[in-house]
Amino acid sequence: MRSLARWLATLLLASAPWVAGAQDATAEPPAPRISLLTFAPGEVYWQRFGHNALMVEPNDGSPTAVYNYGIFDFFQKNFFLNFARGQMQYRLAAIPVPNTLAEYAAEGRWVYQQQLALKPAQARALANFLADNARPENAEYRYDYFRSNCSTKVRDALDQALGGALKSQWQTRFTPHSFRSEATRLMSPVGPLMLGMDYILGPAADEPISLWEQAYVPEVLMQAVRDLRIQGQPLVAREGYWLPPGAGPKTPSEAFEFTWQALALGLELALALVLLTRWRAADIARGAYLMLSLLPALVSGLGGLVLLAAWALTDHWAMWGNHNLLLFNPLSLLLLPTLALSFRSRWRPARWTRMLSMLIALLALIALAIQALPDAQQQLPWIVFWLPAHLALAWSMRKIGRRPPLDVPL
């Protein structure tokens, strides 16, 4: 019996390496490490919102990749036409880490890493999803400025891996912000672009947004992920700067407020039109009147056509139904032939043009009245500029139209 026992023990010891090898062959490879990378805003206008991506470290010897949903190509066929129509095509690409770091270091932009405390199955599922999504046949997606950008695509991929844990917590947490307030805040360092964005956005951009929606801003997503707890445990295992903050642009804490400046300019334009109307006997006054009436009418009319086109001809849902159409009025273009003749001493606007100018001013007054309604579009700066200007022009055309010609004795 002892010899039999020794023989069995020897057999077991001899077979142990083969058994262990079989178990190793069937064991799953180590789970990858997943990190959320957030990049500082840049100087160029399309970099003003910042950026983010997901980094996958495979743990099996494969190269680490940064999965970047923000890839676009200016040389893509019909790029600018598609951009204007709201039909932009962006794509996901897996980019080597050294390339990513070199690009942002050269631009002086910080890079922040948050390593995520995902379960092995979650990490594998997310890594597999990203790898499959980056394949050429799957990489392209329809870009939307607020609902499908680099940050929301990262957010959605994380939410899917976590079984909906992000959306379930964030979609009921409403913020004091809107798409407009966040967009204009981030664009504030580039004044003309901030004004253009505020002008073009319609009432849909003023609806209160949840934290889920606000996460279209990369830095907001970074902070929200930092604060997130799943079953009482933080989602972020460790975090810190990859590239430290440099001398690049800072993120404003709030949008630039330009209501008082707009009011001052509107009143100045209105006062100038009133005074030039009274001083029409002088050639220089008529020349100044020509410029100060013709240019605003041209800007108002063309601006209104842009708003109409954005509403009727594009997929930019945030621009639809823009109440600024009551201020940037396409009807102003009908005044241009009449105003172009205003330098003449005998110029008298026809009755229909005087009535049209009064209608344009009335529509601007309606825009002001709408501000008293709940959930009105945030357009007060534009109202306080255009309303005095439209009222002054209507008064001026009525006043001049009722006067006798300058060279006729009173």
User: Is 291 domain-assigned?
Assistant: yes
pTM (two decimals):
0.86
For the record, the structure tokens of 158 come out as 């994380």
Residues 46 and 161 in one domain: yes
> How many structural domains is the chain composed of?
2
Pairwise CA distance, residues 54 & 218, whole Å: 12
Query: What is the residue-wise DSSP string for 291-341?
Result: HHHHHHHHHHHHHHHHHHHHHHH---GGGTT-GGGGTS-GGGGGGHHHHTT
Pairwise CA distance, residues 133 & 93, whole Å: 9
Answer positive or negative: Cα dihedral of 181, 182, 183, 185: positive
CATH number of the domain where residue 229 is located: 3.90.1720.10
Classified as helix, coil or strand, 234 is strand
Residues 190 and 310 in one domain: no
Q: Look at residues 219, 243, 267 and tell me which one is the last residue of a structural domain.
A: 243
Q: Look at residues 215, 243, 271 and tell me which one is the last residue of a structural domain.
A: 243
Residues 239 and 263 in one domain: no
Residues 184 and 270 in one domain: no
> DSSP strand E in 176-267: where?
229-230, 233-234, 236-243
Query: What is the residue-wise DSSP string for 239-288?
Result: EEEEE---SSPPPPSSPPP-HHHHHHHHHHHHHHHHHHHHTTTSHHHHHH
User: Is 237 domain-assigned?
Assistant: yes
Please tell me the predicted confidence (pLDDT) of residue 385. Answer: 98
Residues 114 and 185 in one domain: yes
Q: Going by DSSP bridges, is the β-strand pair 65-71/111-116 parallel, antiparallel, or unpaired?
A: unpaired
Please tell me the predicted confidence (pLDDT) of residue 255. Answer: 84
For the record, the structure tokens of 361 come out as 């001013």
Query: What is the residue-wise DSSP string for 97-132?
Result: HHHHHHHHHHTT--EEEEEE---HHHHHHHHHHHHH
383, 329 in Cβ contact below 8 A? no
Residues 202 and 84 in one domain: yes
Residues 138 and 174 in one domain: yes
Residues 187 and 266 in one domain: no
User: Is 407 domain-assigned?
Assistant: no
User: Is 377 domain-assigned?
Assistant: yes
User: Is 397 domain-assigned?
Assistant: yes
What residues make up the domain containing 160?
A: 33-243
DSSP 8: H
Residues 46 and 144 in one domain: yes
Residues 275 and 370 in one domain: yes
Pairwise CA distance, residues 402 & 405, whole Å: 9
User: Is 77 domain-assigned?
Assistant: yes
Residues 227 and 333 in one domain: no
Residues 223 and 311 in one domain: no
Pairwise CA distance, residues 102 & 99, whole Å: 5
Pairwise CA distance, residues 226 & 259, whole Å: 36
User: Is 43 domain-assigned?
Assistant: yes
Q: Look at residues 211, 243, 275 and tell me which one is the last residue of a structural domain.
A: 243
For the record, the structure tokens of 187 come out as 């664009």
The total of other beta-carbon atoms located within 10 Å of residue 228's CB is 18
Taking alpha carbons only, the member of 31, 33, 27, 37 closest to residue 243 is: 37
User: Is 15 domain-assigned?
Assistant: no
DSSP 1: -
- Chain segment 255-300, per-residue pLDDT in tens: 889 999 999 999 999 999 999 999 999 999 999 999 999 999 999 9
- Which residues of the chain fall below pLDDT 70? 1-28, 247-248, 403-410
For the record, the structure tokens of 250 come out as 């800072």
DSSP 148: B
